Structure 1
C-alpha cells in the first residue's frame, strides 16, 4: 500500500520511473503543482500507512470468563451514560421476574468431599454400580437419569449393596439433584425478600444430603453471599439446625461421611429414620423453618403414601414447605396433587379460631400466581407438564464415574412452594417498567416534541408539548412515587409484592420479528396466550424478547389475551387453543425431499383421475 500511494503521487506529479530518460528533469523544469484537496488526501494516506504496524497480527482477546454469580450476570446488560451511571436495558420489573441462575457450579468444598469418598472406593465397581442404578436401558451411553430405585429381591441383598449404592448415589444423583434444589431456594429467597431468613431445615428423603448442601449454600450470611458460587462455604450458612429424615441406611451413612471434618460448630445435624408427632412445632414459633422434600414423592408406592407424607410435612408446623420432583408426568402429577392437598389443609385451618390470622390458611409462593386449581393438572391424564430446567457444570468426578466427556447437564424438575398464611393482597402500581431501552425511547420522543415546538411557535402547541413532557417525566420517575418512598428498597419491595400477580411463562416463548408470543399461567388460574407486538413500545417488546421459559412477566399485553384450553378427557373434542405446549415439537418436522414431492404429485394426479369419471357419471 506504501508503494501504491507512492506511485499514485508520481503519476499525479508527472514524474516518470527512475529508469526512464524522461525522468531526469532539468533545473529549468519545475514539478507540476498538486490540487490542494488531492495533496491533503495523499498526505493522510501516507500518515495512516506509516503508523500501521507491519507484519504484526492483532493479539486476540482472551476468552471472557462467564460468571455463575447471579449478581454479575444481572448487571452485564447495562447502558453507560456520560455521567458513568449504569442502567440495565431491561426494566427493573422484568429483571426481577427473570432472575434465574445461568449455570450452577458445585462448590469446591462439596466437590472435595465427594472426591475423598470416591478415592476410598473401587473405581470399576463404582462405574458398574452407577450404570446399574442410573443408566437407562438404551443404546445411548450418555442417557443417564437421577431417579433412584434401591429395591432388591431380598433384604440381605439390600444390606450388601447399601454402602455401594450410597457411594454411587453421591457420585451421580447428588450432583444432579443439587442444582434443582439450589435454584428453587434462590428463587424463593428473591420472592420472599431480604427479611426472610432460614435457621432450621427439615428434609424428608434426605438421601446423601442433596438438600443439606443446597440449603447450607443457599442461606448464607451477608459476608458469604458475596462469594462466587464455587467458593461458598457451609461455615457461612445461617442454618443452625438440619434434620435429615432418611430410611435408607446406605444413603444416610454416606451423607454423614461427606460432612466428616468440615461440619461447623454452630450447625446441628441429626439423621433420623422418621418424624414423630411429638416433634411438631408451633407455627407461631416456626417462622424461620423450612420443610423440604426433594425427589421423594415419586419413589413412594401409591397416592395414599404420598398423601400421608404431605400431611406429616404440614403438621410439622414448618412455615414454608418446598416440594420438588422430576419434570416427568409422574413427578408433575405428584407435585400438583400435593399442592392441591396442602391448599385444602390451609382452608381447613381457616375454620379453626385458634390459629393467628397471619398464619391461618396457606398460599402458593411459586411457581403459581394463584391459589386455584392447576389448569394443567388432570389426575390420571397428564399430557402437559409444568416443569423447569436448571443447567449444571458437571464436575470431573461425575464425568469419570460415567465415563463421559460431556461438560454440562440440564436437570429437569417440577416444584411448588407453599407458605402458611393468607396470600398478599393484590397491588398494581406499575412500578419499574422503564429501563434503558424505554428511557432512550422517551428521550427521543421528548426531543422530537421539543423540535416540533420550536417549529410551530404556537402557544397551544407549547401547552401540548409541556403536558407531554410532564407525562414522560412522570413515567421516568414513576418508581419514586410518594406512596412507596424515594429509595430503592421501597421500590424493590413494591415490585416484589406486585409480582405475586404476574403470569408465569410455563412454555418457551415464541419469538417472531414483529411480535412475541408468551404462554403463561395467570392470576385467574388459566393458561393465557399473550402477544407483545412492537407497537406496544420498545421497552415492553425488548423485555418480552429477552424473556425465558420460567420467568414471571410484568407487562400486560396490548390486546386481550387468548385463553388456551386443555383436552380434559380422552375422546373429547379439541376446542380452540388446545395446542398449548406444542412448540416443543418445533424443529422435528420431516425434511422436504424430492421423493416426498413426487409422491404428493402422484397422489394428486390419482385423485384427479378418480374424480373425473365420477363427474361424467353425474352428467349422464
Structure 2
C-alpha cells in the first residue's frame, strides 16, 4: 500500500530542484554599470597587459595608414639632404687619418713585438703539398728523430727547431736527405719563419722608409725560410687591399728582385725548390748555391739595398774557425745590412756575440786603412738589439750564464699539430740576433719628441686650474673664445713637435738609436714597474717607473714588453749591474741566470726513458767495476 502510494506521488507530483544554469544566465543578462577607474590606474593596467601578453594580441586602436613608396620632398629639405651626402673619397681620407693612441708615439715606435706570427696561405699550401706526397707515419718518425729531445732545456714539450744531425757515412746522408728536408719543412720552417719575420719587421721600422730591399743573400738557406720571410716582409708599398693581410700576401708582390740561397745540405735545398714549384714568384729570381761565387759579390757602392742573412746556421757549424769564415764572407759580400740570427742557448748567444765583435772590429779597421780614406761609407754600427757599439755586457767567453735572447710566438698550422701529434695551438721560439749596418752610428739628436699620448693629454687637461674669479672686461677689449683657448693649450703641449706623422717617425728613428732596450721580461707591480734594459752606455741597468712619475710614463711602462725600446728616463737614477773584480783585475760574470727577483725554483723535467736507460747502464758499469775491484783485492790477499 505504502509502496503504491509512493510510486504515484513520484510519477504525478514533480519535485522542483534549483537550477544553477538558469541563475547564471539570468545574472549574465543583467547590465552592470561601468566602474569608474582612475586614469593613472587605467594606464598602469594597460602597461601591465602589454608587458604580459601583448605579443599575441592585436591593438584595438585605429591602424596607421600605409606609407607610400615614393613621397615628394619639398625643395628646401632636398637641398639639405644633398648637402649632407658625404663623398666616398672624403670617407677614405678620414679613415686614413692617423689617430693618437693611448701610448705615446715614442713608446709605439719602440714596440718590438710582432704578436703571434701566422703563416701565409701561400706557404701553408706549399708545405701541405709536400706533406701529402710523403708517408705520414715515416714523416712523424723522422720529425721525432730530428727535433724531439726531452732532455733539452729550451725545448717545449720535447720539441725544438735546431737541426744539427751528423751522419756517419755518405750513404746515410743520401738515404735521409729528402726525408730530413720534408721533416724540416713541417716542423722547423714555420718556427724559423716566425723569428726571421719578426726581426725583419723590426728592421723595416727602424730604418728609413726609402730603404727598399731588392736583394737577399742567405747563408744556411735550408728549405728557404729566409726567402719566404723576406719576400713577405718587404712588399710593394701600393699593395692591393686584398693582400694587406699577412695571410693573403704573395711572393709575386715583393720588392725583392734576386734571392741567393747558399747551403750544402742537398736534401733541404731539394725540398726548398719543391716548395716553389707551383708558386708565382713574379719578378723575383731565385737561385741556390753551395758556396758564394765571385759574381755574387756586390760592389760597396751598390749594396745599399742588399741584405746578408744568416739564420740558425752558426751553431750548426763544427768549429769557431768555420763560423768566423762565414761571418767574414758575409762582410765581404758588399751588403750594407747584416742580419744574424741563432738560438737563444749559450752556444747560440756566444756565436752571435762573436759575430758582432768581428763585424764591429772590421768596421773600425776601415778608419785606419789609408786606402779607404776616400770612401763615403766606412765602419759599422749595431742597429738592433743593442743601443750601443760597446762590448756586450753579458758576453764573457767560456763563462756565460746570462743570455741576451728574445721569444716569438707562432700560431701552429694544422700540419704542424698533426706532425708533432700535439693539440697545442701555438709555440714559442727563442732566439738571439744582431743587425749590423755599414757606416757611422747616428749621433744623439738630444730631443724628446712624442712622449705624450692620449693618457698624458687627459692628465694635462685635468691639471688645468679651475676658474676661481670673474673679471669685468671693457667692451673694446677682445675676449678669447673657448675654442681659441683650447687651440692655444694644444699648441703649448705640442710646442716644437713635428707637424706630420712622417716627420715624427723620422725624428723618433734617430732618437731610437739611443733608447735602452728591455732584455728581460718586465716586472709589473701595482705601484711601480721594474725594467731591466741594456743602456746606451754599454751597461745593464734596472729602471723603476713609479706611478708618481706621471700617467704617461707609468702607462707606457705597464704596456711595455720584452724586447721593446723604452723612451722614458726613470724618475730616480737607474741601478747599474756592476761586475765585481777578480784578483787579477778581470771582471767576474754574473753567476746566476736570474736578475733581481727572477730567481725561482728550477723547472722540473718530465720522466725520460732515455735518461733512465742511461742511468741504468751507468749503474751496471759501476757495479761491474766494483766486482772486478773486489776480485782483484781478494786475489791479492
- Residues 352 and 434 in structure 2, CA contact (< 8 A), matched pair in contact too: yes
User: 2:325 maps to which residue?
Assistant: 308
Q: Distance in 2 between matches of 1:221 and 1:161?
A: 39
- Residues 150 and 159 in structure 2, CA contact (< 8 A), matched pair in contact too: no
2:289 to 256, 272, 277: 272
Deviation at 1:418, TM superposition (A): 0.3
Change (3 A) 1:43 1:445: farther
Q: Distance in 1 between matches of 2:554 and 2:488?
A: 21
For the aligned residues, what is the CA RMSD?
3.7
2:538 to 494, 513, 525: 525
User: 1:221 maps to which residue?
Assistant: 236
User: 1:135 maps to which residue?
Assistant: 148
Where 2:146 maps in the other structure, the secondary structure is: helix
- Residues 390 and 538 in structure 2, CA contact (< 8 A), matched pair in contact too: yes
2:595 to 577, 581, 589: 581
Residue 408 (structure 2) pairs with residue 390 (structure 1): yes
Deviation at 1:220, TM superposition (A): 0.4
Deviation at 1:476, TM superposition (A): 2.4
User: 2:343 maps to which residue?
Assistant: 326
Deviation at 1:222, TM superposition (A): 1.5
Q: Distance in 2 between matches of 1:147 and 1:551?
A: 26
User: 2:313 maps to which residue?
Assistant: 296
Q: Distance in 2 between matches of 1:409 and 1:570?
A: 45
Aligned residue runs from structure 1 range 439-588, under 5 A: 439-446=457-464, 449-452=465-468, 473=490, 476-478=493-495, 481=497, 484=498, 486-566=499-579, 581-586=595-600
Deviation at 1:492, TM superposition (A): 1.2
After TM superposition, the structure 1 stretch with the greater mean CA deviation from structure 2, 558-567 or 393-402, is 558-567
Q: Distance in 2 between matches of 1:491 and 1:454?
A: 40
After TM superposition, the structure 1 stretch with the greater mean CA deviation from structure 2, 276-285 or 300-309, is 276-285
User: 2:181 maps to which residue?
Assistant: 166
Change (3 A) 1:112 1:450: same
User: 1:19 maps to which residue?
Assistant: none
User: Structure 1: 5+ residue runs without aligned partners?
Assistant: 1-25, 55-83, 458-467, 591-620
Where 2:436 maps in the other structure, the secondary structure is: strand
Change (3 A) 1:546 1:588: farther
Aligned residue runs from structure 1 range 110-129, under 5 A: 110-129=123-142
- Residues 408 and 428 in structure 2, CA contact (< 8 A), matched pair in contact too: yes
Q: Greater Rg, structure 1 or structure 2?
A: 2
Change (3 A) 1:157 1:505: same
Where 2:100 maps in the other structure, the secondary structure is: strand
* Cα deviations by residue, 1:408-465 (Å, 9 ceiling, x for unpaired): 001111000000000011112111111110000111111xx1334659x9xxxxxxxx
* Cα deviations by residue, 1:197-236 (Å, 9 ceiling, x for unpaired): 1000000000010101101111100133851111110010
Deviation at 1:86, TM superposition (A): 3.7
Q: Distance in 2 between matches of 1:452 and 1:386?
A: 56
Change (3 A) 1:48 1:157: farther
Deviation at 1:585, TM superposition (A): 3.8
Deviation at 1:87, TM superposition (A): 2.5
Deviation at 1:333, TM superposition (A): 0.8
Change (3 A) 1:87 1:281: closer
Change (3 A) 1:510 1:568: farther
User: 1:152 maps to which residue?
Assistant: 167
Where 2:463 maps in the other structure, the secondary structure is: helix
TM-score by length of 1: 0.76
User: Structure 2: 5+ residue runs without aligned partners?
Assistant: 1-31, 56-96, 474-484, 605-637
Where 1:274 maps in the other structure, the secondary structure is: coil
Deviation at 1:564, TM superposition (A): 1.4
Deviation at 1:477, TM superposition (A): 1.2
Q: Distance in 1 between matches of 2:246 and 2:232?
A: 9
Deviation at 1:588, TM superposition (A): 6.5
User: 1:72 maps to which residue?
Assistant: none
User: 2:361 maps to which residue?
Assistant: 344
Q: Distance in 2 between matches of 1:368 and 1:256?
A: 36
User: 2:27 maps to which residue?
Assistant: none
Where 1:222 maps in the other structure, the secondary structure is: coil
2:117 to 104, 108, 113: 104
Count matched residues. Answer: 518
2:452 to 434, 445, 470: 434
Change (3 A) 1:51 1:134: farther
Change (3 A) 1:53 1:410: farther
Q: Distance in 2 between matches of 1:174 and 1:33?
A: 79
- Residues 564 and 576 in structure 1, CA contact (< 8 A), matched pair in contact too: no
